[in-house]
Amino acid sequence: MKENIKKIKVLLESLPYIRGFAGKTIVIKFGGAAMTDDKLKQSFARDVVLLKYVGINPVIVHGGGPQIGVLLKKLGKETRFVNGIRVTDADTMDVVEMILVGKINKEIVGLINYYGGRAVGLGGKDGGLITAKKLVVKGEEMGFVGGVDSINPSVITSLEASNFIPVIAPVGGGLDGLTYNINADTVAGTVASALNAEKLILLTDVAGVLDKDKTLISSLTLSQARSLITKKVAVGGMIPKLKCCMEAVAGGVRAAHIIDGRVEHAMLLEIFTDAGIGTAIGLKN
Amino acid sequence: MKENIKKIKVLLESLPYIRGFAGKTIVIKFGGAAMTDDKLKQSFARDVVLLKYVGINPVIVHGGGPQIGVLLKKLGKETRFVNGIRVTDADTMDVVEMILVGKINKEIVGLINYYGGRAVGLGGKDGGLITAKKLVVKGEEMGFVGGVDSINPSVITSLEASNFIPVIAPVGGGLDGLTYNINADTVAGTVASALNAEKLILLTDVAGVLDKDKTLISSLTLSQARSLITKKVAVGGMIPKLKCCMEAVAGGVRAAHIIDGRVEHAMLLEIFTDAGIGTAIGLKN
Amino acid sequence: MKENIKKIKVLLESLPYIRGFAGKTIVIKFGGAAMTDDKLKQSFARDVVLLKYVGINPVIVHGGGPQIGVLLKKLGKETRFVNGIRVTDADTMDVVEMILVGKINKEIVGLINYYGGRAVGLGGKDGGLITAKKLVVKGEEMGFVGGVDSINPSVITSLEASNFIPVIAPVGGGLDGLTYNINADTVAGTVASALNAEKLILLTDVAGVLDKDKTLISSLTLSQARSLITKKVAVGGMIPKLKCCMEAVAGGVRAAHIIDGRVEHAMLLEIFTDAGIGTAIGLKN
Amino acid sequence: MKENIKKIKVLLESLPYIRGFAGKTIVIKFGGAAMTDDKLKQSFARDVVLLKYVGINPVIVHGGGPQIGVLLKKLGKETRFVNGIRVTDADTMDVVEMILVGKINKEIVGLINYYGGRAVGLGGKDGGLITAKKLVVKGEEMGFVGGVDSINPSVITSLEASNFIPVIAPVGGGLDGLTYNINADTVAGTVASALNAEKLILLTDVAGVLDKDKTLISSLTLSQARSLITKKVAVGGMIPKLKCCMEAVAGGVRAAHIIDGRVEHAMLLEIFTDAGIGTAIGLKN
Amino acid sequence: MKENIKKIKVLLESLPYIRGFAGKTIVIKFGGAAMTDDKLKQSFARDVVLLKYVGINPVIVHGGGPQIGVLLKKLGKETRFVNGIRVTDADTMDVVEMILVGKINKEIVGLINYYGGRAVGLGGKDGGLITAKKLVVKGEEMGFVGGVDSINPSVITSLEASNFIPVIAPVGGGLDGLTYNINADTVAGTVASALNAEKLILLTDVAGVLDKDKTLISSLTLSQARSLITKKVAVGGMIPKLKCCMEAVAGGVRAAHIIDGRVEHAMLLEIFTDAGIGTAIGLKN
Amino acid sequence: MKENIKKIKVLLESLPYIRGFAGKTIVIKFGGAAMTDDKLKQSFARDVVLLKYVGINPVIVHGGGPQIGVLLKKLGKETRFVNGIRVTDADTMDVVEMILVGKINKEIVGLINYYGGRAVGLGGKDGGLITAKKLVVKGEEMGFVGGVDSINPSVITSLEASNFIPVIAPVGGGLDGLTYNINADTVAGTVASALNAEKLILLTDVAGVLDKDKTLISSLTLSQARSLITKKVAVGGMIPKLKCCMEAVAGGVRAAHIIDGRVEHAMLLEIFTDAGIGTAIGLKN
């Protein structure tokens, strides 16, 4: 009994957060360790279902992962990378879409449903959700690597109206009728802006944005974030993540978060505790 | 951090219960120690708000309490009891209504609102919610003591449609245009039936229904409950409470619970843990 | 038959008024003789029901009355008045709330229902309707005497959507969690503004606003009303009533009326005859 | 003032009737003197608008009148009558439809709108409202004289949902694509059944159904009405009117009334006074 | 089979047009040969039903025709014309309304229903659709000849919400309570503006607007149209038609078309083929 | 012009079919040549869009195809067939799901969108659409080959309410949390029953059901179909297709059709011509 009362007290501590986010939309980029580690993956699915049941609307955007490379290798297909981005020819794109939409997406949908949610998987072509545009990186032809031209969120809002949880694969259809692979962070950020989301959460494999002396920065304004890039404190893969967050906030998202997906329940820790976790980017500190 | 993760885990343990009761109505009779003890009272209000925010529809019916006697005494008004029920003349009824509707009800409304809910207090005359009928106890005239003739729940459903939390004082209007004081358990039970509630919870000052050897009975079918009364195992104040629960279950309520309101968060313990608390009355064990 | 035909002709004379006010909201401050005299009180309730049935939305705000003093006296509680306002300590406030919300309000609800309406009584704490602020009068501490900080009319609009008639007691909850007694005219005026009402009607115990030579002024513009106050033609209790009307009109109410509640059906005479009754305050004469 | 108070009292006397018929549909057959006399006609239009504004849904079905004969005569067209019904050839039918739909109907629509209502005129072909079938009277070919095969009330319910007042001309389209003239009482009765109306009111040029000794019978059960016909107490034109009322009541209409349209406001006298007027046919006396 | 495949291919060619006009409103002035020739008339009705079923909302406005003159002559009534407009006294207006509303309108309604549509006929007085104003032509009294003062399209939108097809006779009610005959092109144009229609189509008895050398002009901007009138290229009856189209386009209609109603399916040819037919007036060529 | 008029006439011939199927649901199993031949595939997508735009609700269920075998072979994975069904181990199932959901499904979605529709692809796990059960064929373990346990069509009805076109891959989630490959005909048939569809259309690579003398049977009742199977007239792959159709008809689908998908526009020929195409199975001939 004592144990149970302690539990109820903990439940009650979440009330202010539940109240604060009731009816709000939170877009979560699901990727990295959180997506490859079985235990983290299951935790994540259950966390998403909890969010839905306490009245918050989660929208999941997932990335790809090692599975693409594995299948390409099995098929004897070699890949070249430019600036960390896979140059994607038509055959590679086929494999990428199959893995993203036909495997990873459905695995997540299945897991969420297993924990009692009602997820619906979407590729960017479904309902015309994501219109892609060809991306050119440093003047190099990248093939079927695209950026986001526009987001038409009507299929998401239709599904949310019936309490489904949308799970989005980062693939878009071009006006040329072709299919493009898009960076999942970019998709998450533009979808969050299009939905006027309360939060954008990027699950990553780092603790967050670090200072010169490698200590975690817990919050950043847009100008502070800009300065970090200019001053080359933020480097490497963190730069596009920071930019993605900054654009989302500039596009109307209340706050964007870069958090450590290697920590179990990282997303809930961010949402349901005052301490938060990782780095928050917003209009104000 | 570890502490926080532990908390999140506890939060997640409540998911199956939240999922199970999503969108369901739970009618709670609020009374006894839970209503007189300041700490328990505040706990209760916060618990109610939590229920609402995780998607459950609580409907509160409160009883009176020592305040009625105190005011009657201050006014030099003496009272006679028959079978434990106060014989209520017109002047006494005035005092009863004022305390129930004008003081206790508003205190509960205020507390719930303080914790972030949106409560609306209702007497039985509001929106024609409770039509009362004169009660005759053992052939004796009880004055303005009434029973429930019928429940018109439209004012409750209107308020719930706008996410308000109804808080009901056990007072009803007779077809004779007069006002009657009604037993709060009876009001809670008939309101629960009229709303086809998932649960009726009676907060009492005992641990639940006890067996011959004074051990708590954790669940009872209707026929087991009937037998307890026939065999005089259930005695005294427990008999009307048991009958109230049995009628509610017979009237369509999924389960009725007699629980110990002296335990903080008793209601949440009943709803959010498998162990439950007190005695459950249902169609099956 | 002739008699009946005459009656039908009278009924038809009301058509232009019924048509003109169809679907509009009229806020009525119910108080004074109209509320204390039994016959006038019953008349008033029936008049309100008629308004509702011919398609007008009445919202009632009632005042207190001699009953507060009577109960305070019975309880041996003495009261001090500053500027005609009762200095209200915590105990007194308890009595005030009990009488207003638990007795007078429910009496009016009961009467309206008796005549076939469906009234729902509301204190200012219900649904967060009235947020009160502490009032300081001439530098003196008045205790739990408050003014209106803000009105959240959502509980009224929810009830009106289901054709209930809201009856409001002039009590509000402060942000401090405490309860305040508020002048009923003030509540009526601010509620009328918040609802964008067509009319605000104050039932008083005088014929209306009188000129220097004690003749009734049938209509006033805002500047004429202001001038009456400046020139000290309007004096005493009329000044706050006039100011209340002026603020309501400035706040978007089409017309405010100070009428003689001692006249039976005064409210209907104002609404359903061209002659009107009492004094109208509007943007134009 | 006294005069005005008297008027208000009269208005209040109508409250029980307004309350009783709120939201109900009343189908009125408009014809005879009420339709030919200018003053009665205007009175009728205003009465209809009053009904609408106090929350009752009037549906008007009008008959033809002397205007048909006048135009036929001007056109040099002779007519033969069988059993009081005009044998209607194709040319005559053209004239009949033009007068009914293009003249009488629009006059009524215009008058109702003039008094502040929003009427929409309908012929039986509009929205497929009335499907007609050829009528054979005593083995004689009557030409384009029809009966009601079926009523599709969807155009009426669409218009009522937007608060329009439907005004129906007694003309129907056959499955053969041709147009038929139908007895207006029959149309009113079948429309009332199809709408599950509260009342069917036939405005006639007689006081109502008379007894053997020529005194008015104020109410009849179905079997009493049947007996009147069998015993030949009801004769001539009264028989079809009685039958029409009996069928309507058998078809679900609460009460049918044969009243004297020569009396100004006859319809309102029937609806708004206890005495009523004319003869009521219902399941019970 | 081959034949059938060819047909399906044709059906598919219409897809881009169906897609382009889905959910849009098209107002069609029905008149001239299209209305007097039996085969064209039936074709037209079927064409209208097709439009409705492929998701376009047709609104029909019909003119009068030789039938008015025929009936006036039969009745021995002589008519004078000023500027091609019939001087209309009260008796003539009666005949005009009867023919338009009671005959022509109902014929069209009947035909559309025969082909499976659900048409509802409306005169301008129905639901207060058209408010007319007296027209004075070149200083001469024209009697009951009117222009459009205002359009209240609520009865049309109510009927469209239930999938009825509105068919409008060009008759309006003046604020004076009288009825006026209005030019059908004018009614069609103003109704099209009030509905923000996609297209206004005038069915005429000419090929369209002709150039100086009598060749058809297939499209005109507003300024080109104005210039045609100024330079007297457009003459006679074409001028009011052009002006009507220009006003409609200026009033928000996307394109207005003057097409040859003598060609079977002219309306569908305009809507469903790229070539179009007749002359289009729009903001751009 | 003549050409265009001819086209319009053809368009009009489709009116009775459009009218007859307005608002109805048609479930189409897309497979065989229709899905592998580029031209047929594009035709099909355009045909689907046409159906949607003329007011019919198409629901597509697609099969797999040679692509699965190709990829399996590339991956060096061998497959065994039992009774024509691929024995599917976990790795094979992965490939099957990727191809069905991630490639074929998205190709169809892309094509439909290209022609102006708004398609949304669904696997059976999305929104819990298809619950699968393990299939045992002739006592042999088939691995992840499943049957339909139940259909929850709520995700389809949500998408149709927003005018999206659902495209379903024949993959279902078992209660064991695993994924199963299901025969596409079976999915189409059970989805059609669950939706109470008007038609089920199976696109095949044969002309339809053939008689003993190899002539096409154009229609079959349930008992005639049963008899064909009993008498071994229907053999091989036709038997499961016939059974699928029979179950759909028994389950409430109005008619089921086995048609020749090798014929361009076969589906439209079936829907929009009287001759129909292939074999229809229904309650009556």
Q: Report the complex ipTM.
A: 0.93
| Interface contacts (A, B; CB < 8 Å) | 104
Cα–Cα distances in angstroms (integers) from residue A78 to residues A83, D81, F72, F94, in the given order: 17, 98, 19, 22
CB contact under 8 A, F15 and E268: no
Collapse the DSSP code of B97 into the 3-class scheme (helix H, G, I; strand E, B; otherwise coil) and give the result: helix
Chain C residues closer than 8 Å to B118 by CB: 127-128, 155
Q: How far apart are CA D173 and CA D265, in angstroms?
A: 33
State the greatest distance between any 2 C-alpha atoms of chain F, in Å, as a whole number. Answer: 66
Per the model's pLDDT, the better-predicted residue between E149 and F235 turns out to be E149
Q: Read off the DSSP letter of residue E23.
A: T
List the structure tokens of C211: 């000129």
CB contact under 8 A, E126 and D127: no
By Cβ distance, the residue of A8, A53, A264 closest to B22 is: A53
Query: Which pLDDT band, with edges at 50, 70 and 90, does A283 fall under?
Result: very high
By Cβ distance, the residue of D4, D269, D272 closest to C269 is: D4
- Rounded percentage of chain A residues whose pLDDT exceeds 70: 100
pLDDT score, position A85: 82
CB contact under 8 A, B264 and A1: no
Per the model's pLDDT, the better-predicted residue between C112 and D3 turns out to be C112
Q: What is the 3-state secondary structure (H, E, C) of chain A?
A: CHHHHHHHHHHHHCHHHHHHHCCCEEEEEECCHHHHCHHHHHHHHHHHHHHHHCCCEEEEEECCCHHHHHHHHHCCCCCCEECCEECECHHHHHHHHHHHHHHHHHHHHHHHHHCCCCEEEECCCHHHCEEEEEEEECCEEEEEEEEEEEECCHHHHHHHHCCCEEEECCEEEECCCCEEEECHHHHHHHHHHHCCCCEEEEEECCCCCECCCCCECCEEEHHHHHHHHHCCCCCCCHHHHHHHHHHHHHCCCCEEEEEECCCCCHHHHHHHCCCCCCEEEECCC
Residue of F nearest to E22 (CA): F53
Whether the predicted pLDDT of A60 surpasses 80:
yes
List the structure tokens of C106: 């429910």
Q: Shortest Cα distance from D245 to chain C (angstroms)?
A: 24
Q: How far apart are CA D266 and CA D201, in angstroms?
A: 10
List the structure tokens of E106: 């109902």
pLDDT score, position E204: 96
Collapse the DSSP code of E172 into the 3-class scheme (helix H, G, I; strand E, B; otherwise coil) and give the result: strand
* Mean pLDDT of chain E, nearest integer: 93
Q: How far apart are CA E168 and CA B8, in angstroms?
A: 66
The CB density around residue D104, as the number of other CB atoms within 10 Å, is 25
Q: How far apart are CA D190 and CA D196, in angstroms?
A: 10
Entry field: residues in chain E: 285
Give helix then strand counts, H and E, for chain E.
12, 14
Q: What is the pLDDT of residues E88-143, one digit of tens each?
A: 899 999 999 999 999 999 999 999 999 999 999 999 999 999 999 998 877 777 88
Chain E residues closer than 8 Å to F14 by CB: 7, 11
pLDDT score, position F242: 96
Residue F188 backbone dihedrals phi, psi, to 5 degrees: -60, -45
Query: Which pLDDT band, with edges at 50, 70 and 90, does C79 fall under?
Result: confident
Residues 6 or more apart whose Cβ sits within 8 Å of residue C116:
C49, C53, D15, D16, D19
Tens digit of each residue's pLDDT, chain F (285 residues): 788 888 889 889 999 999 999 999 999 999 999 999 999 999 999 999 999 999 999 999 999 878 898 899 988 888 888 877 888 899 999 999 999 999 999 999 999 999 999 999 999 999 999 999 998 877 777 889 999 999 999 999 999 999 999 999 999 999 888 999 999 999 999 999 999 999 999 999 999 999 999 999 999 999 999 999 999 988 888 999 999 999 999 999 999 999 999 999 999 999 998 877 899 999 987
CB contact under 8 A, A125 and F114: no
Q: Interface partners of D (3+ CB pairs, < 8 Å)?
A: C, E
Residue F58 backbone dihedrals phi, psi, to 5 degrees: -80, 140
CB contact under 8 A, B18 and A54: yes
Residue of A nearest to F70 (CA): A75
HSE of C33, CA atoms in CB hemisphere, 13 A: 14
Strand pairing class (B179-182; B140-151): parallel
Residues 6 or more apart whose Cβ sits within 8 Å of residue A93:
A143, A144, A179, A180, A181
Query: Which pLDDT band, with edges at 50, 70 and 90, does C223 fall under?
Result: very high
Q: How far apart are CA E10 and CA E15, in angstroms?
A: 9
Q: What is the pLDDT of residues E162-194, one digit of tens each?
A: 999 999 999 999 988 899 999 999 999 999 999
CB contact under 8 A, A162 and F158: yes
* Mean pLDDT of chain B, nearest integer: 93
Query: Which pLDDT band, with edges at 50, 70 and 90, does C126 fall under?
Result: very high
Q: What is the pLDDT of residues A97-154, one digit of tens each?
A: 999 999 999 999 999 999 999 999 999 999 999 999 998 877 777 889 999 999 999 9
CB contact under 8 A, F5 and E269: yes
Q: What share of chain F is helix, strand, coil (3-state, %, to 5)?
A: 45, 25, 30
Whether the predicted pLDDT of D137 surpasses 80:
no
- Rounded percentage of chain B residues whose pLDDT exceeds 90: 78
Q: Shortest Cα distance from B230 to chain A (angstroms)?
A: 32
Are D18 and D190 contacting, i.e. CB atoms less than 8 angstroms apart?
Answer: no
CB contact under 8 A, B15 and A263: no
Are C87 and C78 contacting, i.e. CB atoms less than 8 angstroms apart?
Answer: no
User: In a mutagenesis test of the C interface, which of D2, D6, D7 is the best target, namely the one with the most C β-carbons within 10 Å?
Assistant: D7
The whole-number average pLDDT for the span B56-61 is 98
AA letter at B98: M
HSE of E1, CA atoms in CB hemisphere, 13 A: 10
Q: How far apart are the first and last CA of chain C?
A: 42
By Cβ distance, the residue of F5, F19, F272 closest to E8 is: F272
List the structure tokens of C54: 């011919």
User: In a mutagenesis test of the D interface, which of C7, C17, C118, C263 is the best target, namely the one with the most D β-carbons within 10 Å?
Assistant: C7
CB contact under 8 A, B120 and C122: yes
AA letter at E15: L
- What are A28's strand-pairing partners? A60, A201
- The pTM score is 0.91
Chain D residues closer than 8 Å to C46 by CB: 12, 15
CB contact under 8 A, A155 and F164: yes
Are B180 and B145 contacting, i.e. CB atoms less than 8 angstroms apart?
Answer: yes
